[in-house]
Each structure stands twice: as structure tokens, then as C-alpha cells.
Amino acid sequence: MDQLRALRYFSKVVQLGSFTQAAAEFSVPPSSLSRRVADLEKHLGADLLKRSTRSVQVTEIGEIYFQQIQDVLRLLAHSDETVRSYQAKPMGQLRITSLVGFGEQRLLPALEDFKAQYPDVVLDVRLSDELTSLSRDDVDLAIRGGYAPNERVQAIRLMSNEFIPVAAPAYLAEMGVPQSVLELQEHKGIYFRTPRGPTPWLCQVDGEWRDVSAPAVAISNNGAWLAEQAVRGRGIMMAPRWALAAYIDRGELLELSFDTTLSVNQNPELAIHLIYQKQRYLVPKIKAAVDFLVERFR
């Protein structure tokens, strides 16, 4: 019995809930799937599917088997791809996901150069602040704040994600430059909202965390719009240094400094990381992208 074929048939039947539809995907008659799945069940000595003449249901053990088989099929596909693309030029589809802000301001511009350098790679970029599962195989590369979830994935630190406080020169002229973090509460605040909630201004005094946020004049998950607000002198804003660098360079925003360092969470050194599955680094398109992004950002 060609178990691998049986697994693919079974898997598709489970996904589509129908022998007929699954058969269509393989361009073979439904009878083939029926027989192959039956073979598989005999081989395993258990019923994977509960069939009636008109419908298919997955049994409890069938569902368990299905779940575990996904890993097998995915791993094998990856291994085959690794060999097939061995010492070939980078090509094919490359799926990247990134934090929205970083994606818009840094990643997408960089990828323009990448596309020029590797025209045969088709980019599929998804910007989202939700954390997608790298292992589910819906993505080749991910850019995230945080660290490596487990040992099979590699996480390379691209740059710091340190939040710094800034304000427009006009705002500071009118409201005064705050000399201490405690004075911040007399000011106006512009806040970035992450999927995990807003980002209050925190500082550590005598080993204890204190919230020194100013009253809010703007809250959004859109970094560009918030920065615009800050440039117009609406208030003080905290955002990652990489997101503000352009404004600071142009003199539109000034970085504030205090004796006590300010941050937006209790783990200030959560950097921006590039994440990928270790063993997939051998695939040319992935190696090319990783090397390119590391070279560009680190």
C-alpha cells in the first residue's frame, strides 16, 4: 500500500468532508479514494471515518490521526522542497508577515529592493499585529516583537524596539519641556494601541513600576496618523525609535530625555525579531530573504 498516497487522500477527505470533492482535487474517481482510505483503515486496524452512503464524518481517532498527519505531510513537503531547490536560484512564492507599523515604514520599502534583486521571488506580505503561528505553515518568515517560541525556529534580532518619548518643538515651546517623568502627568498624551491594549507610560522608581501617563488627546493603532498628531503639536508621544527616526532627522519631533528611563511595558528590551524555521534556511528563497533583511536592518 502506498501509505503516503492514502494519507493525502484521507487528509483531503477530512478537509472537504466529501469523497467526491476530494477526488476532484486529485483528478481521480471517488472510488479510488474510497479504496485507499479503506486500505489505510485496515492497515491501522481502526475506523477513521464514519460513512453513510451520502455523507462522511470523522471519528474521534480519525481526527487525532488527521491532526498528527498534517505534521508529517508538511515536513515531507518541506524536505522535498529543500532538495529540489538545492543550489537553485531564489524563486517561488515567499510569504512574509510583519508587525503593521514596522511593515509599512521599514519592511515594504526594503522589499522593493529585494524584488529588484530577486525578480523570480513572488512576495506575499501580510501585515498584522496578531501573532500568527509560524508552524502552521501559512508563513515562511515572520517579523515580530518578542523572542523565539521554541528551539526549532530561529529568531534573529533585527533592531531594538525601544520606545522613546518625543514632541514637536512648537508643543514644547508652548507647554514647556518636562524636566522629570513626574511632570508628564501635566502634559497631553498621544498613545499607540497594540492588540494587547494601549501603551501607558511607565517608569521604574525604587524597583516599583509607576504609571506616569498624561491625559490622552489621541489613541490609535495607526502609527503614522499618531505621529502626524505629534508633529502638529497635539501632545507628547511614545513610539519605537525606528518609527520616529525620520521625524527626528527632519527636526519635526524632538526626543525628550529624563533621568528615569521611560518605557511602555515592564520588559523594555523586547526587540524586533526575524523568525523562521531553522531547517528551511537551506531553501534559497528563504536564505536570500533572511540574509537580505539581516544585512539591511542589523
Partner DNA sequence: TCGATTATTGCCCGAACGACAATAATATTA
Partner DNA sequence: TAATATTATTGTCGTTCGGGCAATAATCGA
| Residues of the shown chain interacting with its own copies in the complex, contacts defined by CB under 8 A | 2-5, 43-46, 48, 61, 64-65, 68-69, 71-72, 75-76, 78-80, 82-84, 86, 149-152, 279, 282
Query: Under the criterion CB under 7 A, does residue 2 sit at the interface with DNA?
Result: yes
State the residue for C-alpha cell 508563513. 139
Cβ distance to its own copies smaller for residue 80 or 186: 80
Which of its own copies, DNA, none binds 136 (CB below 5-8 Å, type-dependent)?
Answer: none
When computed from its CA atoms, the radius of gyration of the chain, rounded to whole angstroms, is 26
Cβ distance to DNA smaller for residue 24 or 254: 24
Query: Are 163 and 239 within 8 A, CB to CB?
Result: yes
Cβ distance to DNA smaller for residue 12 or 280: 12
**φ, ψ at 121 (rounded to 5°):** -95, 125
Q: Which of 7, 14, 15, 27 binds DNA (CB under 7 A)?
A: 27
Which of its own copies, DNA, none binds 253 (CB below 5-8 Å, type-dependent)?
Answer: none
Residues contacting 160, CB < 8 A, separation 6+:
240, 241, 242, 269, 271, 272
Query: Under the criterion CB under 7 A, does residue 35 sit at the interface with DNA?
Result: yes
Query: Under the criterion CB under 7 A, does residue 56 sit at the interface with DNA?
Result: yes
Which of its own copies, DNA, none binds 29 (CB below 5-8 Å, type-dependent)?
Answer: DNA
d(CA 226, CA 230): 6
Count of residues interacting with DNA (CB under 7 A): 27
Query: Under the criterion CB under 7 A, does residue 132 sit at the interface with DNA?
Result: no
**φ, ψ at 188 (rounded to 5°):** -115, 140
Cβ distance to its own copies smaller for residue 79 or 132: 79
Residue 291's CB is within 10 A of a number of other CB atoms, namely 11
State the residue for C-alpha cell 481526527. 63
Which of its own copies, DNA, none binds 221 (CB below 5-8 Å, type-dependent)?
Answer: none
Query: Under the criterion CB under 7 A, does residue 30 sit at the interface with DNA?
Result: yes
Could you tell me which stretch among 50-58, 136-144, 181-189, 244-252 binds DNA (CB under 7 A)?
Answer: 50-58
List residues near DNA by CB under 7 A.
1-2, 5-6, 18-20, 27-39, 49, 51-56
